[in-house]
Amino acid sequence: MFLNRNHASKAYVALGSNLGDRAGNLLLAARGMMEAALVVTRVSSIYETQPVSEVEQPPFLNMVVELGNPLPAPEQVMARLLRIEYALGRIRDVKDGPRTIDLDLLLYGDLKSDTEFLKLPHPRMHERRFVLEPLAEIAPHLVLPTLKITAAELLESLEGESRVIRWSP
């Protein structure tokens, strides 16, 4: 369950797209967050990444945005993100398959949640270079609540060969 709700001054959302106008989808999703009364305070660069999936699919464009106050309850943030995915044509038919947009709530302050609807911090963020690279760009000193290590330190210690490069159109 949620603890210390008043400690949530910032939340972080990972965005990814590998179908259609990938960059356009990311921008529409960020705009959708603003239209959903989420306060976008920082935006990372866009990175091109290879899919981390057994499913054959095109490369992703990924980025991370920081949300600031006023922050709705974490469940409300998640519900708004799901509505944005739906509005942008997200179809969940193949697990880890290609998608127009993917929005993951990574962190909400130092809150922890383990419900069917919401897992915080995001359970796999610490092993995903395509999340840590843009997160460390905009919040290098952010301490991840479960690991007690900064985003930048975690990125530096990450093993694996996944390719994440800054994208330019």
Give catalytic residue positions. Answer: 90, 99, 102, 104
Angle, to 10 degrees, between the axis of helix 74-87 and the axis of helix 22-35? Answer: 140
Which of 91, 90, 114 minimizes the C-alpha distance to 101?
90
The beta strands (E) that lie in 102-146 are given as: 102-108, 113-114, 119-120, 143-144
* Cβ atoms 126, 88 nearer than 8 A: no
Cα distance between residue 46 and residue 164, in whole Å: 10
Q: What does the alpha-carbon distance between residue 22 and residue 137 come to, in Å, rounded to a whole number?
A: 20
- Note the maximum CA span of the chain: 43
- C-alpha atoms less than 13 angstroms from C-alpha of 72 in its C-beta half-sphere: 15
**Which tokens hold the place of 159?**
């093993």
